[in-house]
Amino acid sequence: MKRNFTVRRGALDGVEAFLEVARHRNFRRAAAKLGVTPSAIGQTVRALESRLGATLFTRTTRSVGLTEAGERFLERARPAYEELIAAAATVRDLGGRPSGLLRLTAPKSVVPILLEPLIASFCAAYPDIEVEISASAELVDIAANGFDAGVRMGRFIAPDMVAVPLSPPLRLIIVGIPNYFARRAKPKGARDLREQACIRLRRSSGALAPWSLLENGRPVDISVSGPFIANDYPTVIGAAVEGVGLAQVPEPTVAALLKTGALVAVLDKLAPTTPGVALYYPGRRQILPKLRAFIDHIRQRAP
């Protein structure tokens, strides 16, 4: 069943005029304060009294006083109206300058590599903005969950979103620890992966992600098998470091481990390039200054 509106249309009309007359106990001074004529403010108050069904003021040629109904209305209306004014001022403030809480959702693997240095400089540049990051492997509905924007690899971002690149395109490489190859021969081609223990990634949709490789210069997806499945890259990388098997991951996520030799890459020439990491947000709504400031900060720091 359709519910009636709690506040009927026009119910707040005349409240400001009433409060000004009650404050000054004078229609002329209230009219001057509001920048209208005394007759206009008188008509507004009479219309309010008509809607309420009660007389709010006792009027004489020399004075204006509140009736009992007026006193009761003033007692409840004044704090409520002041709260409305404060609420409007807060919204205008958020819409007029970069301030407030900026909520972002991002994968765990992206936070230390891309977001931590970016957030540090952004917080220093915009002290009136608080930044909250929710690290999750799930593809979160940012609008339904109250986020201003999200961060994901470009290939996972819906086409109806506006995407702002945070990184250049990146390669998906296959890695394993040196000791793993002491037990198994290094793969020389895509077919050799059938004989390997492959660590797989389960997407938020529930499907297992295939491995992508280049074949004759074109990317192809292949199915692999192995003893371990995870739903985020940090866990996949951790399993590879423990020697569980080979993993296919974005190259920047294991750059430090490759440099120290903790991991080594195989089938390097078959590694495909995929769209990099991007900030994304709905394009059909007005962007608040806090998000616009973050987008501008990203673009200023872009290499």
Q: Would 100-168+276-301 and 170-274 be classified into the same CATH topology?
A: yes
Q: Which of 9-23, 81-95, 178-192 has the highest mean pLDDT?
A: 178-192
Q: Specify which residues 72 forms β-bridges with.
A: none
What is 155-167 written as a DSSP string?
Answer: GGS-TTEEEEESS
pLDDT for 16: 87
Where do the structural domains in the chain lie, given as residue ranges?
15-96, 100-168+276-301, 170-274
Residue-wise pLDDT tens digits, 35-44: 889 889 889 9
Tell me the whole-structure pTM to 2 decimals.
Answer: 0.62
Q: What percent of the chain has pLDDT over 70?
A: 91
pLDDT for 93: 56
- CB-count burial class (<10 Å; 0-12, 13-18, 19+) for 196: buried
**CA atoms of 236 and 137, how far apart (whole Å):** 12
Report which of 110, 187, 164 is spatially closest to residue 294, judged by C-alpha positions.
Answer: 164
**CA atoms of 244 and 200, how far apart (whole Å):** 11
User: In terms of CATH, what superfamily is 100-168+276-301?
Assistant: Periplasmic binding protein-like II (3.40.190.10)
pLDDT for 4: 43
Which of 65-79, 108-122, 257-271 is predicted with the least confidence, judged by mean pLDDT?
108-122
**In the structure encoding, which two tokens stand for residue 171, read together?**
């390669």
Report which of 140, 165, 177, 158 is spatially closest to residue 258, judged by C-alpha positions.
Answer: 177
Assess contact for 277 and 187: CB atoms under 8 A: no
Pairing of strands 149-153, 277-282: antiparallel
Question: Using 50, 70 and 90 to split pLDDT, how confident is the model at 167?
Answer: confident
Fold type of domain 15-96: Arc Repressor Mutant, subunit A (1.10.10)
Residue-wise pLDDT tens digits, 109-144: 788 877 888 889 999 999 999 999 998 777 778 877
> Helices then strands (H, E): number in the chain?
10, 15
**CA atoms of 245 and 180, how far apart (whole Å):** 7
Q: Is 102 strand, coil or helix? A: strand
pLDDT for 9: 46
Residue 6: CB partners within 8 Å, gap ≥ 6?
Answer: none
Q: What is the CATH code for 170-274?
A: 3.40.190.290
- Whether the pLDDT of residue 103 is over 90: the answer is yes
- CB-count burial class (<10 Å; 0-12, 13-18, 19+) for 82: exposed
pLDDT for 1: 38
Question: Using 50, 70 and 90 to split pLDDT, how confident is the model at 3?
Answer: very low
- Whether the pLDDT of residue 61 is over 90: the answer is no
The number of CA neighbours under 13 Å toward the Cβ of 238 is 9
Which of 48-52, 140-144, 214-218 is predicted with the least confidence, judged by mean pLDDT?
140-144
Report which of 240, 238, 206, 200 is spatially closest to residue 221, judged by C-alpha positions.
Answer: 200
- Whether the pLDDT of residue 259 is over 70: the answer is yes
Tell me the CA end-to-end span of the chain in Å, nearest whole number: 57
Assess contact for 100 and 293: CB atoms under 8 A: no
